[in-house]
């Protein structure tokens, strides 16, 4: 999995989400720096499909359970743990 962060100076509105994503994926800087798009040229992406996720969490209290369960430090960092393998995956923190 690759994670990338870009600053894209275009307003986002759900009604125009498809156009926003096409413009993002056709941006020369995004294509150059995001490995998943290597080999594309600007203007190559003509169609996108996306799924809108419903979100009803409106504040950060949602994450308080992580602190209550001792999974994070007071500063918000995830507590480390000794490395362990489960089903072929390496786990190095307390969140499972």
Rounded to whole angstroms, the Cα distance separating 67 from 11 reads 35
Mean pLDDT over residues 66-74, rounded? 83
Predicted model pTM? 0.49
C-alpha radius of gyration, the chain, whole number: 19
Q: What is the pLDDT of residue 96?
A: 56
In the predicted structure, residue 1 carries a pLDDT above the cut 60? no
Alpha helices in the chain, H assignment, sequence order:
17-26, 28-33, 64-68
């Amino acid at each position: 999995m690759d994670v990338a962060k870009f600053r894209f100076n275009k307003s986002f509105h759900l009604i125009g989400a498809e156009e926003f994503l096409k413009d993002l994926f056709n941006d020369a800087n995004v294509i150059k720096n995001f490995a998943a798009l290597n080999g594309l040229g600007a203007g190559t992406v003509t169609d996108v499909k996306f799924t809108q996720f419903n979100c009803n969490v409106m504040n950060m209290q949602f994450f308080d359970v992580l602190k209550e369960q001792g999974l994070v430090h007071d500063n918000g960092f995830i507590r480390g743990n000794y490395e362990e393998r489960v089903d072929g995956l390496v786990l190095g923190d307390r969140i499972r």
